[in-house]
Structure 1
């Protein structure tokens, strides 16, 4: 384990937050669109999404920093970080697919794929840092719920 560096940690957290912010910006006005679609039971209010995502992106950034900062096994670390960046790219694209392009079927598929990618990432992280893996459990739970919403919205609309 390298020495803790606050600057490096902040780079990881801010990068993850910026991915979310840029995705939201490119997705367009999601609140009015979200109000227009037929939503399934248990759909949360629109204001909850940015709050939850801000927390989840921070946790993602912290966990990725923990993996990056661990120098015990370079091959595992490299593999885990590749999964992190792949899931982050799919995460980035989801809002754009759903809100900007309104491609509900593709968005539902992307949500399910993202769920499995994050599951694989957590398993990969766990081999390096159990704490880094645990930090992503809320993300996986939220993605399970988001997948339910995406699939249901596809069928309802």
Structure 2
């Protein structure tokens, strides 16, 4: 006659969850700090652009001839706020992959290049117009064309590191391409 006897439970305790380890908490703290840094940098670029825009939107820009598809001014602030947030989170997702097989430095370098171009466009387009006239719009157009290329390259590079990060830049690329058409129209209509 055989008896069904349950084996006694092993006295070995399970290891603590990885999320509660000191190393995991430190990594999580660095990740959050890095996310905040990426957001601060992106919002600093936005603030820099706002300085050039704020006095000119109600100045020369309000009187300028615009494309028929030019949205109301109220659309730009919220759209850019969302886009800068997506850009920062995408860069942070790429940065988080820094210890994995794929190198992230080239992708983040492209991100910095597009941020620089982004930060140059607004002061040239809006801020320089009162002094330079239509030339500022055409120089802005060249800068935004370079920005289009840089954002597309950044998006492609991000996709190789993190698909989520790459897809997060799609709205930004689409908006910058749309802004390029607005810049071209303003330059052509006001020259």
Q: CA RMSD in A?
A: 1.5
The count of corresponding residues between Structure 1 and Structure 2 is 155
Summarize the alignment of residues 8-157 of structure 1 with structure 2, pairs less than 5 Å apart: 8-32=34-58, 33-70=60-97, 71-73=99-101, 76-102=103-129, 103-157=136-190
d(CA) in 2 for partners of 1:27, 1:43 = 16
Contact 1:27 1:95 in 2 (8 A): yes
1:73 offset after TM fit, Å? 3.7
Q: Which deviations, in whole Å up to 9, do the C-alpha atoms of 1:124-156 show, x marking residues without a partner?
A: 001100100000000000011000000111100
- Structure number with the higher helix fraction is 1
Check whether the contact 2:158–2:166 (CA below 8 A) recurs between aligned residues: yes
1:26 Cα deviation after fit: 3.7
TM-score (normalised: structure 1): 0.93
Q: Secondary structure at 1:25's aligned position in 2?
A: helix
Which position in structure 2 is the counterpart of 1:6? 32
Point out where structure 1 has 5 or more consecutive residues left out of the alignment: none
Task: Output the CA distance in 1 between the equivalents of 2:56 and 2:69.
Answer: 18
Q: CA deviation at 1:45?
A: 0.9
> Cα offset for 1:23?
2.0
Structure whose CA Rg is larger = 2
Alpha-carbon distance, 1:51 to partner: 1.0
- Please say which of residues 120-129 and 46-55 is displaced more in the overlay: 46-55
The SS at the match of 1:99 is helix
Q: C-alpha separation between the residues in 1 aligned to 2:150 and 2:84? A: 16
Higher RCO structure, 1 or 2 (CA under 8 Å, sep 6+): 1
- Match of 2:73, SS state, is coil
